[in-house]
Structure 1
Amino acid sequence: MALDPTTMLTLSIALAAAAALYLAIEWRHVRGASLLFWSAGFATITIGSTLALLRSSGILLIGIWFANGLLVTAHWLFLLGVARFTESRLSRGWYLIFVIWAALLLLPNEPWWSKVMLASNSLLVSVLMLKASLLLRPHGTSLSVGAGQLRYVLLFHGAFYFSKAVIAVMPGTLIDLAAFRGEIIQISLVEGAMAIMFIALAMTGSERYRREKRIERLAARDPLTALYNRRALEVRAPRVLDDVSGERPGASLLIDIDNFKSVNDLFGHTAGDRLLVALSELIRSSLPEGALAARLGGDEFVILLRDASSERIEALASSLREQFHRTAAQTFETPEAVTLSIGASLFDQPPSSLAALIEQGDAALYESKRAGRDRIRLVDRRVAGSKTTRHS
């Protein structure tokens, strides 16, 4: 089968329709707005390529101007999808592209009409794709592998259309849009079919990768406080604990809310949840660099510190206790004060396991509560410390 213009357009129609359907199915599962825009873009290419076949029947207004207008619209939808994917905002100036395209209808029917039409169409598509590629530029670790691939596919696609616009206005270049004549038009039809495949695959991979990362992130977080859960803490704790040495001691703080039950009993569990969220925000804002924090369950939280000292632990614990007591007192009036009890451990050798470390913190926390609550019990387990204890 010869790769004539009609064959290439038919192939593009089939590929674009399949891409539109596949992305629409993905959208039903993911509900990502970017997938919906991308699916609409490929559906628009399907319609535009179908209308382009009408050129052979002499229907040039629809087969050229309207069909190419839909091609511009499809790439505009691709740009909107990328903007949603990257959570970027586009200015209203991008809508002027349709005004520019509509103005091309006013061009006189002169021999140079095909050149101007092709150059204008190519330049508009190029600007849209280069902007989309720019939105996907790497920023930190937020650009996934799939998004990186999409960026380069769109960059190449935009560069190709820019070169097409330049070639179209070069003297002596044969361009006949009505009959699909001209080498640049033939190459463009082949590139279009290939671009549909690569863009669709990269778009699907981008959204799927982000969905998997989102699921992984949600699985590692406590749904109420957004702190790490115990399972995630067990995975990440070795990065903190394995660095422990005599020169860089480690520490753990086990935190529990005193009289938390009275808040639930008097104000309801929603109020209790608000208090847990407030404490998690205090912990997050007070967390030193390189530290880890997690909610173990109920009203119990843990903080792991590296390069710690008894002074740093007591300063952190005192700050948390004071801020939390002030927040709780201003929000809820209870018969007994809602405060924090903290059991802390300072050590210069990596613990045998996270569970053993938490068990030590539990013992210190129990002593803190038994001593009257609203206080910290610090156990210094360093070799030089000979297991000394301090209350505050």
Structure 2
Amino acid sequence: MALDPLTMLTLTVALAFAASLYQAIEWRTVREPSLLFWSAGFALISVGSTLALLRVSGLLLIGIWFANGLLVTAHWLFLLGVARFRGVRLSRGWYLIFVAWSALLLLPGEQIWSKVILLLNSFLVALPTLRASLLLRPRDKSLGAAAAQLRYVLLGHSLFYFAKMIPPLVPGTLIDLSVFGGTIIQISLVEGVMAIMLIALSMTGTVRYRRERQIERLAARDPLTGMYNRRALEARAPRLLSEASPARPGALLLIDIDNFKLVNDLHGHAAGDRLLITLGEMIRVVLPGGALAARLGGDEFVILLADASHERIVALGDVLRKRFHDNANQHFATPEPVTLSIGVSTFDQPPASLVALIEQGDVALYESKRGGRNSIRLADRSLMSQAAAGA
């Protein structure tokens, strides 16, 4: 099959329609709004390419001006989709694209019309595409291989359209949009088919990567407090545990809320949930760099410290105990004080397992509870006396 303009346009119609349908189906699965913008963009390319076929019937206004206007709009929708994906708000100036395109109707004469419309069309496609590419630059975290591919495909696509602006400026260059005359037009049709395939695949891969990362984060987080759950702690702890040495000992702090049941019984389970969320926020605030924290379940939390000196453990536990007691005492009246008991397990070499370390911390936590609560204990030896003595 010869790669003549009509054949290439027919391929473009089919590929763009398939890409639009695929993005719409993908949206039904992941509900990512950017997919709707991209799906609409491909749909407009499919419609615009269909209208472009009408040039051979002499319908130049529809086959050239309107068809290329849809191409510009499609790339504007691609930009909106990328902006939505990245959480960026575009300025209203981008809507001037349509004003600039509408001004082409005022051009007199057909000889200059083909060159000017190609020049402006190329610019109005290249500009939003370049902006979309720049929005996909990685910031704090990588967006994944698909996003990187999409970024470079969009960049290459925009540079191609910027290059298309050169032929109309060269005197004597053949450009006749009514009959697809001119080498640059022939090349554009081929590039368009390739771009549709690459952009569509990259867009879908980008959204899927984000969705997979979101699922991973949800699986690793406690739904109430947003802290790591036990599974996530077990996956991340080995690196920290392996760094332990006599010069840089580690410590595990097992934290339990004293008299937590009183809060649930007297104020309701919603109040108990708020108290758990509050403790989680407090732990995040005081957590040193390089440390790990998680909610093991119920009212039990754990902190895993690296380079944990005696003073550091005591200071951290003291801050948590005081802040938590003050907050609980202010918001929840109970017959007995709602406080924290903390059991500590230290290690100066990689322990046998995280489970063994938690079991040792549980022994120390039991000693804290039996000793009157609101204290920090290391096995059978007190790191800190009762709250009254430590105040």
Which residue is equivalent to 1:14? 14
The residue type paired with residue 362 of structure 1 is: D
1:263 paired with 2:271, answer: no
1:183 paired with 2:207, answer: no
Which residue is equivalent to 1:277? 277
Distance 2:58 2:84 in 1: 39
Distance 2:331 2:79 in 1: 47
TM-superposed deviation, 1:139? 1.2
CA 1:109–1:331 in structure 2 vs 1: closer, same or farther (change >3 Å)?
A: farther
Which residue is equivalent to 1:203? 203
DSSP 3-state at the match of 1:274: helix
Distance 2:7 2:224 in 1: 56
Which residue is equivalent to 1:237? 237
Decide whether the 8 Å contact of 2:253 with 2:343 is kept in 1: yes
DSSP 3-state at the match of 1:276: helix
Deviating 4+ runs (over 6 angstroms) = none
Which residue is equivalent to 2:383? 390
Decide whether the 8 Å contact of 1:345 with 1:360 is kept in 2: yes
The residue type paired with residue 377 of structure 1 is: R
Decide whether the 8 Å contact of 2:314 with 2:383 is kept in 1: no
Distance 1:199 1:168 in 2: 27
Decide whether the 8 Å contact of 1:310 with 1:346 is kept in 2: no
Which residue is equivalent to 1:90? 90
Decide whether the 8 Å contact of 1:5 with 1:186 is kept in 2: yes
TM-superposed deviation, 1:142? 3.3
DSSP 3-state at the match of 1:90: coil
Distance 2:280 2:298 in 1: 12
Decide whether the 8 Å contact of 1:129 with 1:155 is kept in 2: yes
TM-superposed deviation, 1:390? 2.5
1:4 paired with 2:10, answer: no
Identical-residue share of aligned pairs (%): 72
TM-superposed deviation, 1:107? 1.2
Gaps of 5+ in 1: 380-386
Gaps of 5+ in 2: 386-391
TM-superposed deviation, 1:167? 2.2
Which residue is equivalent to 1:162? 162
TM-superposed deviation, 1:388? 5.0
- Of 146-155 and 268-277, deviating more is 268-277
Distance 2:284 2:169 in 1: 59
TM-score by length of 2: 0.97
Which residue is equivalent to 1:382? none
Which residue is equivalent to 1:152? 152
The residue type paired with residue 240 of structure 1 is: L
TM-superposed deviation, 1:374? 1.1
Deviations, residues 168-196 of structure 1 (Å, cap 9, x unaligned):
22222110011110000000000000000
- Of 323-332 and 157-166, deviating more is 323-332
Decide whether the 8 Å contact of 1:257 with 1:299 is kept in 2: yes
Decide whether the 8 Å contact of 2:143 with 2:210 is kept in 1: no
1:58 paired with 2:61, answer: no
**Matched ranges for 1:219-368 at <5 A:** 219-368=219-368
TM-score by length of 1: 0.96
Decide whether the 8 Å contact of 2:343 with 2:363 is kept in 1: yes
Distance 1:205 1:9 in 2: 26
Which residue is equivalent to 1:384? none
- Of 179-188 and 210-219, deviating more is 210-219
DSSP 3-state at the match of 2:164: helix
Which residue is equivalent to 1:39? 39
Decide whether the 8 Å contact of 1:116 with 1:169 is kept in 2: no
CA 1:389–1:324 in structure 2 vs 1: closer, same or farther (change >3 Å)?
A: closer
Distance 2:79 2:374 in 1: 56
Distance 1:4 1:358 in 2: 71
Distance 1:322 1:104 in 2: 71
Which residue is equivalent to 1:24? 24
Distance 2:234 2:348 in 1: 19
TM-superposed deviation, 1:329? 1.7
Q: How many pairs does the alignment contain?
A: 385
Distance 2:48 2:135 in 1: 26
Distance 2:370 2:351 in 1: 25
The residue type paired with residue 101 of structure 1 is: W
DSSP 3-state at the match of 1:345: strand
CA 1:376–1:389 in structure 2 vs 1: closer, same or farther (change >3 Å)?
A: closer
Decide whether the 8 Å contact of 2:76 with 2:128 is kept in 1: yes
TM-superposed deviation, 1:389? 4.1
- Of 117-126 and 166-175, deviating more is 166-175
TM-superposed deviation, 1:285? 1.1
TM-superposed deviation, 1:282? 0.6
Decide whether the 8 Å contact of 2:143 with 2:206 is kept in 1: no
Distance 2:102 2:273 in 1: 56
Distance 2:298 2:136 in 1: 41
